[in-house]
Structure 1
Amino acid sequence: MASSKETTPLVKPDPAPATISTKRSRIIKAAIGLTLVLGLVALIVTWVKPTSTATISVAGIASEGGDYVCGTTKNEGGYIKLANKKDGHYFYWFFESKSEPSKDPLVIWLTGGPGGSSMIGLMMENGPCSVLPDLSTKANPYSWNNQANYIWLEQPLDVGFSYGALEDRDVNETNVGENMYWFLQGFIDKHPEFDGREFFITGESYGGHYVPGAAHYIWGQNKLGDAQPGKYRINLQGIAIGNGWVSPVVQFAHNIDMIDNAYNITLMDQTEIAQMRKDTETCVDMVRQCQADLSNSTLCYATQDYCFTTLTIPLTATTKRNPYDIREVCENVRVGTCHGMDYVYDFFNLESVRKYLNVNGGPIREWVEASDIISEAFMVSGDYLMNTEQLVADLLDGGVRVLIYTGDADLMCNWQGNQVWTSALEWSGKQGFNSAAERSFVAHDPLDASAAPSVAGLLRSYDDFTVMRVFNAGHMVPTHQPAASLDMINKFFKNQQF
């Protein structure tokens, strides 16, 4: 039964637009939608290029906050050429901190997928603005750049506006880590004021692979010290992962745990539950076989298909619940009608916006929310089924702070699975972490000192490791708990007690 402490968000976000564009038709992927599994943007769909060639007409692209297209602070969009690639170019949109840009940390956000664009995170979760129906923008007061200089980065290559040669294509988190390091080298070369500045990586969903992979590579490069002449040392301080996909064996094994949820929602009957328990054993065994032989792409792809079909789809097949937020009914999740992204799509395909973001120097192509090509590449490589816990353990033992937070209404990367792998994590502080008492996360609205504090979740914290369950939130915690999540991330950046 839901705890009485599981209160409503401190500040309720504006309801998401319920529009479904008629300008685009949608087709369901023929294969079971594993491009969906880990990122709201990868919604088991393929967006088809608009048939209309009409120009979208809006009254300018100014935002509510003033002269900027998005938000109220100085910002910059553009490309960084990756020195480790033949023709790899990462697109980024950078926003200065609203507080002290000359002192506040530099932070990167990575949306999951694999293949999802971080512009979705920017516009629908924790960025400085959201898109309105007329394609103008509305400032988000709870943007995560309140006390940080923030980069929303489109990666891997060929996601969103990012591009590269065919031989530049990425297939796993090792590629992601190396690219992130070289992106930062190029970005700091362009913005030397960030040389030596505290740096954090944040992300969500498949970010459970991206974020540890990137941080671990940077950490490894930093350990080389003087052996890296002419390169900037990245002052890596911490990573934060929301509703992350980190440990496939553990997390698939605990998909079924959501049948007992805080919202008293019945997802399956007893017969279906019994079948899922059997299917869980089969799935876990198949995942281990794939992990032992990544060269067997047929097995690895079949494993992803089997596990998703038997352990995720049944949880919502009858109830028609949104797998990213079981509090919501979603009649047709397989064609992406739960969360409209049409305004975002149209916004980034405006010629005026593309010009503002300096992307016209890249390939002239349609911007889309998710790349099926990249999703497929990561699936075939077996990366999706690999564990990244050891990378997290190495970072903790190396003095890097780690925050794992999970909205408890999410089925895709549920809070139970995240609690199990974090408790089992083999690092020097394991005993101390598991001995630490679980306590409430009492959130304060960072923008309203008069607002009453609210119990927004439960957490366990020891040394540099904090694991948090967030109440009344699904896969996209900043969307559902804007004030509490901003309080959380600000405290993390400042290394303050939650």
Structure 2
Amino acid sequence: MSAGHARAAPVEPPEPRQARQGGRVRLDALEGSPLQAPGRALTISRFLQMPPLLAAASPPPLLLLLLFCCAAQAAPSGHEVTYLPGLAKQPAFKHYSGYLDAESDKHLHYWFVEAQGNGAADKPLVLWLNGGPGCSSIAGLLTEHGPFTIQPDGSTLGYNNYAWNKLAHILYLESPVGVGYSYSDSQDYRTNDTEVARVNYLALKEFLRLYPEYSSKDLFLTGESYGGIYIPTLAQWVMQDPSLNLKGIAVGNGLSSYETNDNSLVYFAYYHGLLGSRLWSDLQASCCSGGKCNFHDNKNLNCTLGMAEVIRIVDESGLNIYNLYAPCAGGVPGSYRYSDGMLVSYDLGNNFIRQPLRSSWREFLLTLPVASNKARLDPPCINTSSPTTYMNDPQVRKALHVKDNAPEWQMCSFPVSRGYKRIYMTMNDQYLKLLGSMKYRVLIYNGDVDMACNFLGDEWFVDSLRQKVQVARRPWIYTDENGQDQIGGFVKEYTNISFLTVKGAGHMVPSDRPRPAFNMFQRFITGQPF
């Protein structure tokens, strides 16, 4: 939980109302039905159920059929992207961009890319959420696994040979409200874990209202980083909605538990040569007892002092926290800087939040009297200039149907991050509910050189769920560009859940290791063994 915030009681998704009666689907009983502002399909359904006032006034049956077909198959007018600046050649597949009005005052921007290639009509629907909290999922599209890859000049796009939309229709949603081009009429961007899950669920329902032809498709919820919170909490809503065909979830380098993430990171740092033997001995003496170490919230003074040194090395020395072996774009950053009258913060606030050094920094951020347009949040060691330049191009905004009053696009939102309440400290209960149903495939995958959400912490977390092991930890194989088998990483498979590492990848796995990442994703959504 962020410093300075009281713990709020989690809001659990409601039990679904009975949506089927007498062999018919009651549209008004489905979760998220827009009863006060019904869409086309719901309006026509109600019209069809009304008794005729005059037999002569009844429209011809063929006309009704045509009306219903149009409502059920047509994408929303004005959302299709007919020309995307920066591409040498426009794509053969369709893609759409616009707003999903999750509530009357909450407008979430999305970019939806249809599947490409043979058999596209039979491919599943995938929702993708980047993390933060407060970072845009468009980063996932333009820099990780989308069909278009931003080039260093910030004005041209290339095609991604390992685009995940070769395997699925993918919805990239800018969430929470306040991220990217998403906005609220009130401009109040304070939010929390449970509110984000609820609004994301409503946005997904609104998407399927606008694109009803996708409502019966297999659905997968996927995300990265703080998506480790977003995705399981959203799944609690989706799994209770009988109108949604949820098949599974996948989380990459996710924050699954603050405690295991913190405790494992210290081990990761020591065994990767970042901590000297003196510091390690001091930590063992002051933070550990009975063979168990608590680096997460230990109150021992000597442990606190040792952990302050760990934080300075891991987070503040200039190492790339997202990829230990990659250079830091822009050189060694501090925790923040001022640039052209703007405060630029580099701290997303996910590691060691219970340590005094980290919590005092969060308190400092919360008390800063800075206007939202005078502050920026940049992920450390990541060059955000290319996607930022591209997304703020007036022609790109027009092509993506961005509202004129939408703010300037930034990869991460300082107001959202600063005002975010972290309610859940672990996703244990959420995963156990998913696994207890025995209906869903679950994948937790990690690049093995990431320090933001390290592989060891997520492996410990999966082990703590105490599921039955089906396949012991072993290497998994993919075929490289030369047709040779290579080790992609390691995998351990349990009943309905798999933990997998990607060798040589950091926090953004598809960016660092696109080919094995594509192979992994393909096996996951098709249900093939790793």
| TM-score in terms of structure 2 length | 0.69
Local SS of the residue matching 2:178: coil
2:412 maps to 370
Query: 1:143–1:486: 8 Å Cα contact kept in structure 2?
Result: yes
Query: 1:325–1:409: 8 Å Cα contact kept in structure 2?
Result: yes
Number of residue equivalences: 391
Which amino acid is 1:96 matched to?
Answer: E
2:403 maps to 360
Which of structures 1 and 2 has the bigger CA Rg?
2
Local SS of the residue matching 1:102: helix
Query: 1:126–1:142: 8 Å Cα contact kept in structure 2?
Result: yes
| C-alpha separation in 2, matches of 1:111 and 1:73 | 23
Which amino acid is 1:131 matched to?
Answer: I
Query: 1:80–1:186: 8 Å Cα contact kept in structure 2?
Result: yes
Which amino acid is 2:403 matched to?
Answer: N
| C-alpha separation in 1, matches of 2:514 and 2:502 | 12
Which amino acid is 1:396 matched to?
Answer: L
| C-alpha separation in 1, matches of 2:201 and 2:134 | 19
2:464 maps to 424
Among residues 165, 182, 198, which one is paired with 2:218 in the alignment? Answer: 198
| C-alpha separation in 1, matches of 2:188 and 2:209 | 22
| C-alpha separation in 1, matches of 2:280 and 2:425 | 26
2:53 maps to none
Change over 3 Å in CA distance of 1:397–1:274 after alignment to 2: same
Q: Tell me the alpha carbon deviations over residues 428-473 of structure 1, each in whole angstroms, 9 at most, x when there is no partner.
A: xx1x22x63111110135xx6x621211101011231110111111
| C-alpha separation in 2, matches of 1:485 and 1:451 | 16
Correspondence list, 1:49-88, <5 A: 61-64=85-88, 66-68=89-91, 73-82=93-102, 85-88=103-106
Among residues 123, 143, 150, which one is paired with 2:142 in the alignment? Answer: 123
Query: 2:319–2:332: 8 Å Cα contact kept in structure 1?
Result: no
Q: Does 1:413 align with 2:453?
A: yes
Change over 3 Å in CA distance of 1:276–1:204 after alignment to 2: farther
1:477 maps to 509
Among residues 119, 123, 133, which one is paired with 1:114 in the alignment? Answer: 133
Local SS of the residue matching 2:517: helix
Q: Tell me the alpha carbon deviations over residues 325-380 of structure 1, each in whole angstroms, 9 at most, x when there is no partner.
A: 1112434144667321101101010110001101125x2421111111111222xx
| C-alpha separation in 1, matches of 2:511 and 2:496 | 26
* 1:309 shift after superposition: 5.3
Q: Does 1:440 align with 2:475?
A: yes
Correspondence list, 1:129-278, <5 A: 129-132=148-151, 133=153, 135-166=155-186, 169=189, 171-222=191-242, 233-261=243-271, 265-277=272-284, 278=286
Change over 3 Å in CA distance of 1:309–1:125 after alignment to 2: farther
* 1:124 shift after superposition: 1.2
Among residues 481, 495, 499, which one is paired with 1:467 in the alignment? Answer: 499
Let me know the Cα RMSD of the aligned residues.
Answer: 2.6
Query: 2:279–2:306: 8 Å Cα contact kept in structure 1?
Result: no
Which amino acid is 2:332 matched to?
Answer: N
Q: Tell me the alpha carbon deviations over residues 25-62 of structure 1, each in whole angstroms, 9 at most, x when there is no partner.
A: xxxxxx9xxxxxxxxxxxxxxxxxxxxxxxxxxxx924
Which amino acid is 1:443 matched to?
Answer: Y
| C-alpha separation in 2, matches of 1:112 and 1:307 | 29
Local SS of the residue matching 2:183: coil
Local SS of the residue matching 1:321: coil
| C-alpha separation in 2, matches of 1:192 and 1:129 | 25
| C-alpha separation in 1, matches of 2:249 and 2:186 | 30
Which amino acid is 2:85 matched to?
Answer: I
Moved more, 469-478 or 252-261: 252-261
| C-alpha separation in 1, matches of 2:100 and 2:176 | 13
Local SS of the residue matching 1:458: strand
1:92 maps to 110
**Unpaired runs of 5+ in structure 1?**
1-30, 32-59, 223-232, 288-304
- Aligned sequence identity (%): 29
Change over 3 Å in CA distance of 1:485–1:134 after alignment to 2: closer
Among residues 483, 488, 493, which one is paired with 1:456 in the alignment? Answer: 488
Which amino acid is 2:528 matched to?
Answer: Q
Local SS of the residue matching 1:175: helix
Query: 2:125–2:214: 8 Å Cα contact kept in structure 1?
Result: yes
Change over 3 Å in CA distance of 1:117–1:496 after alignment to 2: same
Among residues 343, 350, 353, which one is paired with 2:393 in the alignment? Answer: 350
| TM-score in terms of structure 1 length | 0.73
1:314 maps to 313
Q: Tell me the alpha carbon deviations over residues 167-216 of structure 1, each in whole angstroms, 9 at most, x when there is no partner.
A: 87452222122112211221111111112110011111101000101111
| C-alpha separation in 2, matches of 1:337 and 1:254 | 21
Which amino acid is 1:285 matched to?
Answer: D
